[in-house]
Amino acid sequence: MHLKIFMWSYIVTAISLVVAFFYGGWQALILCVILGILEVSLSFDNAVINATVLERMSDFWQKIFLTIGIVIAVFGMRLLLPLVIVWAAAGLPPVEAFRLAMNPPADGAAYFPDGSPSYETLLTDAHPIIAAFGGMFLLMLFLNWLFEEKEHTWLSFLEKPLAKAGKLDSMAILVAAVILVLAAEFLAEEPEVVLLSGLLGLIVYLAVNGLGKLFENPETVGAHQDADAPQDTTAVADPSAGQTEQAKASRNSTLVRATGKAGFFLFLYLEVLDASFSFDGVIGAFAITSDPIIIALGLGLIGAMFVRSLTVFLVRKGTLAEYVYLEHGAHWAIGALAVILMVSIGFHVSEFITGLLGVFFIGAAFLTSVRRNKRLAAEGHAEDAKLHV
């Protein structure tokens, strides 16, 4: 299964490295490898969240996400989106922005000899706009999850009381709006620009997420409601197999795959989510290289392909059902990333910190899930022993 799922990622990686070598020699090849690793390390939580959405989509829309979606991810999010941001923030046409990107100052300076800013400088100057939009989108995703009732809780001392507080209507919007106002007031040099960008991020989240729910079939909604009901999780599979097959079957049986308009809006939701996650990767890539071709090859083709393959792997293996706290860790990682993006409006935050926080939350959630499975397996053996006495 591993080879089948990751085969195209390996093929695309090999082709990308060959193209990078012929484009810029060994230096370009090494930069591509570094950027690919950067993207995967920053986006593991993205893969987990993608998996929670992808398993709700029909096979058709899953294939669309893995084919057309990868084209959008590579050329749209990693190549065209930065050009559009430079165009919107600096008033430069995308063609002119691309020319600047392909012809940086010879000495790597932030400005040309005539005093005009480089492409990297223009994109960096637009960071508050990017951070406000992406931060609000991710923050809404995190808060909506945080304020809802859950079958399982990981950080129970926080998740249980916050789930109760979530019974207040629009709690997530209220908290997100307060954070946006505070960030614009105390961190932004241009508060009105940050407010507008953050508001757009909030609107896009509400629109895409709301439309997806609007076009869900009644059966789908009922299935999700059933999924929220308490499940019997005391029975587990053979601990030597290391899998909770009953949990997987229960999760799969309560999911009715979204088709038609519901599938389309889930696809849009995933693409906007991918864009929000890609912002920090694109900005961080400029600390390594300002060449948009190498960035597209490393972040886009190599990184994005592996993130999508990892998403499919999580869905096919039923990993989210087997390790029940993994989804929790991913959401906490998203919350941390959202806060970092908002803070970065006024202060520089190293991408190294962002990546480490994501790895920390995912790793801690995984280890906690493993301990839970071992505990349930031991309790199951104890119950079997009592029955045979």
Distance, in Å, from the CA atom of 276 to the CA atom of 281, rounded to the nearest integer, reads 10
How far is Cα 385 from Cα 387, in angstroms, rounded to an integer? 5
Three-state SS at 147: coil
pLDDT score, position 214: 67
Spatial CB neighbours of 11, under 8 Å, sequence gap ≥ 6? none
Centroid of chain to Cα 36: 15
**Cα–Cα distance, 10 to 16 (Å, whole number):** 10
From 144-148, 241-245, 327-331, 345-349, the region with the lowest mean pLDDT = 241-245
Q: Is 11 exposed, middle or buried (0-12, 13-18, 19+ CB in 10 A)?
A: exposed
Q: What is the pTM of this model?
A: 0.76
User: Residue 320: pLDDT band by 50, 70, 90 thresholds?
Assistant: confident
User: Which pLDDT does position 18 carry in this prediction?
Assistant: 93
**pLDDT tier for residue 192 given thresholds of 50, 70 and 90:** very high
pLDDT tens digit sequence for 260-313? 777 787 888 888 877 777 766 676 676 677 677 888 888 877 887 888 888 888
Q: What is the pLDDT of residues 194-216, one digit of tens each?
A: 999 999 989 988 887 777 666 65
Residue 229 has pLDDT above 60, yes or no: no
Give the span between the Cα atoms of 213 and 227, in whole angstroms. 16
Which position has the higher pLDDT, 82 or 381?
A: 82
Residues ≥6 apart with Cβ < 8 Å to 304: 39, 70, 73, 74, 77, 78, 274
